[in-house]
Structure 1
Amino acid sequence: MKEGAIYTWERSFTNEEVLEFGRVSGDQGRHHVEPDEKGRLMVQGLLTATIGTKIGGDLNYIAREMISEFIRPVFTGDIITCEVVINKVIQMEGFKKIKMETIYRNQHGKEVLTGSSHGIVRDE
């Protein structure tokens, strides 16, 4: 892992996944449980953010702080791409301190979520 490295992950969410996340998280807002005129549900912001946590898991990243700005809604069926950019890597004794930025875009290239995080990756 080095400064400037970019990682991406893409996925969409189904109505069932949104309903299940609502059951697990308790987020039962009407917009998450009642389909719109196109049969879609609005995806919870934190469910959308799990796209980035998949990348973090692949990197064995342990977050210490995460800041998110939810810019526009995501609906079931939207294809969301998360891009993670490693901004800073500082080697410490036994671990690396990491700072990163994230940008999530929908299938139209519009930003839906941006954020930043800092945490650690333990040395193996």
Structure 2
Amino acid sequence: MSTDDTFREGASKTYTRTFTREDVQQFAALSNDEGAHHLVPNDEEQVVLHGLLTATMPTKLGGDIDLLARTMEFEFPRPAYTGVEITCEATYESVEEYDDYTALDVSFVCESEDGDVVLRGRCEGVVK
């Protein structure tokens, strides 16, 4: 496999999304996680996103490069809410090229439009 700037150490990719109540309802039905905080709106008509729904943001970035994740770690310092724009930035911390695959160590952080960190973590995997 030839070296690709896409996988240069220190390079980063971003993805921005605003989740809706319908997104949360669909995820609740899929995951069977129907906690009231995910389904009953607050005074601002927002619900709390499922942590793993928020985690679809870094997994989307991994999917863009066909990353096969071997490990993933998540920390959820603050709740994320529907109707709030969230930006996820993934950074390639370590890149190791082999004959038939590239091994990556990726860190990521997701922030709300107000600058609150709602998710941070790491992932290790390979791209063939």
Residue 59 of structure 2 corresponds to residue 53 of structure 1: yes
| TM-score normalised by length of structure 1 | 0.96
CA distance in 2, matches of 1:88, 1:39: 41
Q: What is the aligned counterpart of 2:125 among 110, 119, 124?
A: 119
Q: What is the aligned counterpart of 2:42 among 36, 41, 46?
A: 36
Superposition deviation, residue 62 in structure 1? 0.7
Q: What is the aligned counterpart of 2:23 among 17, 26, 31?
A: 17
Superposition deviation, residue 54 in structure 1? 1.1
CA distance in 2, matches of 1:20, 1:65: 26
Superposition deviation, residue 109 in structure 1? 1.1
Alignment of 1:74-85 (within 5 A): 74-85=80-91
Q: Output one character per residue of 1:39-84: Cα deviation in whole Å (capped at 9) or x when no partner.
A: 1111101001101111111111110000000010111001100000
Equivalent position of 2:73 in the other structure: 67
Equivalent position of 2:3 in the other structure: none
CA distance in 1, matches of 2:33, 2:99: 40
Aligned alpha-carbon RMSD (Å): 0.7
CA distance in 2, matches of 1:55, 1:120: 14
CA distance in 2, matches of 1:113, 1:21: 18
Q: What is the aligned counterpart of 1:100 among 91, 106, 116?
A: 106
Give ranges in structure 1 of 5+ residues lacking alignment: none
SS at match of 2:55: helix
SS at match of 2:69: strand
Extract structure 1 runs of 4+ deviating beyond 6 A: none
Residue 95 of structure 2 corresponds to residue 89 of structure 1: yes
CA distance in 2, matches of 1:50, 1:7: 15
Amino acid at match of 2:100: G
CA distance in 2, matches of 1:91, 1:49: 27
Identical amino acids, percent of aligned pairs: 39
Q: How many aligned residue pairs are there?
A: 122
| TM-score normalised by length of structure 2 | 0.93
